[in-house]
Amino acid sequence: MEFNTHYTSTSAQTMPSDTFADISPPADARPVQPKIFPESDVIHQSATTPHDQSVRPPPNTNAPPQHGVGKNAASADQTLSREKRGAALGACAKSEFRECRGGEALKDGASSYLAFDQFDKKETRGEEGRGTCDGIVHETMRRIDRSAAGATTDLPSAVTYIRSEINGGGTAAQSTLDRIQAFQDRPESLGLNNYHRSTTRQWNPQGGATQEERTDGVIHNMGTSPGMPPGGIAYIGVRVQRPGEAPQSHGHALLVQRLPSDAHGDASRYAIFDPNNGVFTYPDWQHTEAALRNYMHTAFNEDGYNAAPDLLRLYVPNPGHGDPPYTSHSRHGTDDEMGEPPEVGQRPHLGHDEL
């Protein structure tokens, strides 16, 4: 994979009821600078983070983001990779991202993004080619949490570093890949030291809620009630199934963060990380909401599937250093497998390292 952060036209180019169940836990600018990540096994490595401090919301903040804002053409090597994969999926194949995975929806309205696709590496494709999204998301959460006591690491920074490390090879890359697989197998093994879970919402436990109702519920909880404080993280579990089907075990995972005010900008910005497409930064919640809604309408729409959220976990920074460590539990249910549908995963996706 090439290592390149993209800036869209919204950013300065020079700047590098069966609806839910509440199961909340008890209440008990300046130039881009290298950002050092205090990881014990790779303490001397560094990466840079997107710097879009000049981004400002559009003049009419009440107007919805326009479709197509921020699109730029795919590079020649990206176009070639689409052709070599040989998929003939109609409109999906026209995207610079992997076919039918909602990448264009996430890119639309973003001020910057860094491409990341779990299928670009054999080690992160998972069993039967169904991906390791849950493991990747949990490793990303671990990076953000471990750095909270020292230098601030936001979601784009964490993804940038993980990608750089995996591409670099060697023992550091292997350690990261081992953790990803371990979190994929046992996500509850992640213990958070500087964050705690504030809220959990589950939608559609009996299969009666519509895709729109579930999306509305996630948007409401993330943006309004209870909302996300600066630095807050949202884990979103997404079901991938055909309309009318009973709830299925396969799915996908996304991570969203309201970026802290000291992360090269103010606290109005958000970032979405999708292990199938990359990490996307938005100037405000309005653009973030539009991206999430469009993603749910376009991702996994091959073979009659659609995507709908049914799990939301909100994590907030600890108010002090005396809080006990918190253990994450991200599975949708005891029998869940966080992977894409078998017939979708068995498509012959070729990673860039095999082209």
- In the predicted model, what is the mean pLDDT of the chain? 72
**CB proximity list for 74: less than 8 A, separation 6 or greater:** 82, 95, 96
pLDDT of residue 145: 94
pLDDT of residue 284: 95
The tens digit of pLDDT for each residue in 241-278 reads 887 777 666 789 999 999 988 656 788 999 999 999 99
Lowest mean pLDDT across 187-201, 206-220, 324-338: 324-338
CB of 255 closer than 8 Å to CB of 273: yes
Local structure of residue 197 (DSSP, 8 states): E
Q: In whole angstroms, what is the distance from residue 125 CA to residue 129 CA?
A: 5
Q: What is the CB neighbour count within 10 angstroms for residue 238?
A: 24
pLDDT of residue 151: 61
The tens digit of pLDDT for each residue in 34-45 reads 333 333 333 233
Ordered by start, the domain boundaries in the chain are 17-52+100-321+328-354
Alpha helices in the chain (DSSP H): 76-85, 103-107, 133-147, 155-168, 170-185, 211-223, 285-298, 342-345
The tens digit of pLDDT for each residue in 222-233 reads 998 778 999 999
Q: How confident is the model at residue 88 (pLDDT cuts 50, 70, 90)?
A: very low
Q: Coil, helix or strand for 200?
A: strand
Asked if pLDDT for residue 291 goes beyond 80, the answer is: yes
Residues paired with 253 in a beta bridge: 237
Asked if pLDDT for residue 304 goes beyond 70, the answer is: yes
User: CA of 163: how far to CAs of 166, 269, 320, 350, in Å?
Assistant: 5, 22, 31, 18
pLDDT of residue 5: 61
pTM here is: 0.69
Lowest mean pLDDT across 32-36, 209-213, 328-332: 32-36
Most confidently predicted of 47-61, 74-88, 209-223: 209-223
CB of 345 closer than 8 Å to CB of 129: yes
